[in-house]
Amino acid sequence: EAGVVQSPRYKIIEKKQPVAFWCNPISGHNTLYWYRQNLGQGPELLIRYENEEAVDDSQLPKDRFSAERLKGVDSTLKIQPAELGDSAVYLCASSLESGTGPEAFFGQGTRLTVV
């Protein structure tokens, strides 16, 4: 079974430019997460979807970040315009609910460098 697929793996852009990341979750996983991770730190949640509904976007900087999950499957995360401080790894994860809570499967991430 294929895991969570993210693209691109790496992206270098100039500040003020737009950028988009794509995520294909594991088939049948209703929950999808976008996290941002700085070097040597734990992932920080940006947004969580249940099917196509964003149920938690409280940590998403909505002035420049947007996300969508059409048809409750693939998802895209966009930044416009990018700032130097947005440089980080952007991780997508998906999960099924279990009796003990979500067990998340992560993609390899997209490493964004803003110059």
Q: What is the largest CA-CA distance in the chain?
A: 45
Q: How far is the CB of 29 from other proteins (least distance, A)?
A: 13
Name residues whose C-beta falls within 8 Å of residue 36's C-beta, 6 or more positions apart in sequence: 43, 44, 46, 88, 89, 90, 91
**Between 30 and 66, CB nearer to other proteins:** 30
- From the CB of residue 24, how many other CB atoms can be counted at a distance below 10 Å? 18
Residues of the shown chain interacting with other proteins in the complex, contacts defined by CB under 8 A: 4, 31, 33, 35, 40-45, 48, 55-56, 91, 93, 95, 97, 100-109
Q: How far is the CB of 18 from other proteins (least distance, A)?
A: 24
Q: How far is the CB of 53 from other proteins (least distance, A)?
A: 13
**Between 48 and 65, CB nearer to other proteins:** 48
Q: Is the peptide bond before 18 cis (omega within 30 degrees of 0)?
A: no
